[in-house]
Structure 1
């Protein structure tokens, strides 16, 4: 597994991480904690060390799950990233400094850890200046509870203001062949400041996997049924685009998933695809060895102009 540093820190992470959100109930249908823990352990065996969770996923279940999986694992083997802002079950947006300090202690308790490697503000709180929020987060670094700070879905101005308060190691956004809005302004800012980009939903919530053929492939309680790209005529139009990606994938003797993840890595991001299936994990990790030529990148870049439906 290839490694890279997080921002300007000495924290080394795998070129590809593992997103854990889907391992909790209420997200993508049924879950199996025993199998999820096996997947986390297998990820470690494959060289993945970056594990992404949040206090809101499953109302705290996701952090507890990761904590159980890491029992008996040497602390330095895992880079644990979690987030605050929403509270359990996405109930609110909270960035008040007092809440930040309360949230970290609750996360540490659920994870069973003494410190968190990477702590994110999950979403921006419009009612509190980001300087106050990051200032409170910086106190957690000084207290030894957090090693590095991150932002999620922040705009360029917010990133700069936050960075002027305390160094920001990471920005996390949705980023995939189908979600490239950040390339115009946000990515140039992170590159200028030396901030690592973490890409969630690098497979456009599984659409680019090639596994979805009709809307009925999704469980009835799957949140994707409510997203525009998965609805009515958009769904079938996007399936056709995935089929076109399969042509290039076959020519390179790789899967569509590996192709899409390799594109994300080639664009400087650390993708954190999630999965509840062992074979998908093992398929995903092979993307780190896929090399894309400049011509192949141009072809893949053209795909994003034909997607039907918005993210939300």
Structure 2
């Protein structure tokens, strides 16, 4: 496993990180989740990503249990705030940040989180209020660094322009061979301002693993076959997308790697990406994904894959 610095922080994160969305406390059994976490540490993965909204606290609670007994400085823990936890508990107001952070810390059974991220932008709360509340959380020692997920360039710049507040060190966008929108403005802006990307869905909800075949039903053990984990798969699980990924497989074969490793290495080719988040339903999947760290792939193969992806009709 190789590691990269996270923005202007002193955090060094593994190039492959473990995500808990739709899996921990929700989509997979407790024993498999804990085994996956143990496997992650064995592989050198040191960054664990979660959110208060994952399973309405279930993912954080399971992590709090599974991490108990491990030295707190042996892993980097990130969680998020914004998504509704109830009909009245949502957003990035000072009151919500304080309430939800304390609740997250209790579920995670820790005194602090290394990275506290705004899950989305809150148009109903003044940015100054949000940034001041996050800054106070850092001053109180409950948070080491702050980040955001899926903010627009305009919103990112507005946060950078505010004086006297903590600066973000991470951005968490969707980014993959099939979803390249951050390249246009978000990545350049972040690179200029000491903000790294922590990428979610680098395998496009598993489609870029190559496990789905044109004309075939999804494998029984796949995310697409799970009622608990197949949310947001409709966009990617289209015949034209499956066919395109199938056409990319020979490129991965030529590189001597799996399709999943090829897709993860493509994401990690971008210097501003600090880590790619992977979610797994069983421990053995992690070893294959982790092997993408440090891979050197011929850029010409990536260019051919990009050309194939560019031919996919828009949904």
Q: Answer yes or no: same fold by TM over 0.5.
A: yes
Partner in structure 2 of residue 170 of structure 1 = 170
- Is contact 1:153–1:171 with CA below 8 Å preserved after alignment? yes
1:219 counterpart = 2:225: yes
User: Following TM superposition, by how much is the alpha carbon of 1:35 offset from its aligned partner in structure 2, in angstroms?
Assistant: 1.0
User: Following TM superposition, by how much is the alpha carbon of 1:304 offset from its aligned partner in structure 2, in angstroms?
Assistant: 2.9
3-12 or 293-302: which moved more? 293-302
110-119 or 298-307: which moved more? 298-307
Structure richer in helix, relative to its length = 1
1:295 counterpart = 2:300: yes
1:43 counterpart = 2:40: yes
Counting only pairs closer than 5 Å after superposition, residues 118-129 of structure 1 correspond to structure 2 as: 118-129=115-126
The 1-side partners of 2:127 and 2:308 are apart by 35
- Is contact 1:19–1:53 with CA below 8 Å preserved after alignment? yes
Selected match of 1:248 from 226, 230, 251: 251
- Is contact 1:7–1:196 with CA below 8 Å preserved after alignment? yes
1:67 counterpart = 2:64: yes
Partner in structure 2 of residue 106 of structure 1 = 103
- The DSSP-based 3-state class of the residue aligned with 2:310 is helix
62-71 or 142-151: which moved more? 62-71
User: Following TM superposition, by how much is the alpha carbon of 1:215 offset from its aligned partner in structure 2, in angstroms?
Assistant: 5.3
Stretches of structure 1 lacking an aligned partner (at least 5 in a row): none
- Is contact 2:204–2:236 with CA below 8 Å preserved after alignment? no
The 2-side partners of 1:79 and 1:220 are apart by 29
- Is contact 2:25–2:62 with CA below 8 Å preserved after alignment? no
Taking only aligned residues, the RMSD between alpha carbons, in angstroms, comes to: 1.9
Partner in structure 1 of residue 283 of structure 2 = 278
- The DSSP-based 3-state class of the residue aligned with 1:288 is coil
User: Following TM superposition, by how much is the alpha carbon of 1:107 offset from its aligned partner in structure 2, in angstroms?
Assistant: 0.2
- Is contact 2:120–2:149 with CA below 8 Å preserved after alignment? yes
Aligned length: 304
203-212 or 253-262: which moved more? 203-212
Where do 4+ consecutive residues of structure 1 move more than 6 Å?
89-92
- TM-score normalised over the length of structure 1: 0.92
User: Following TM superposition, by how much is the alpha carbon of 1:90 offset from its aligned partner in structure 2, in angstroms?
Assistant: 9.3
214-223 or 273-282: which moved more? 214-223
The 1-side partners of 2:286 and 2:87 are apart by 27
- TM-score normalised over the length of structure 2: 0.91
- The DSSP-based 3-state class of the residue aligned with 2:145 is strand
Distance 1:205 1:91, change over 3 A: farther
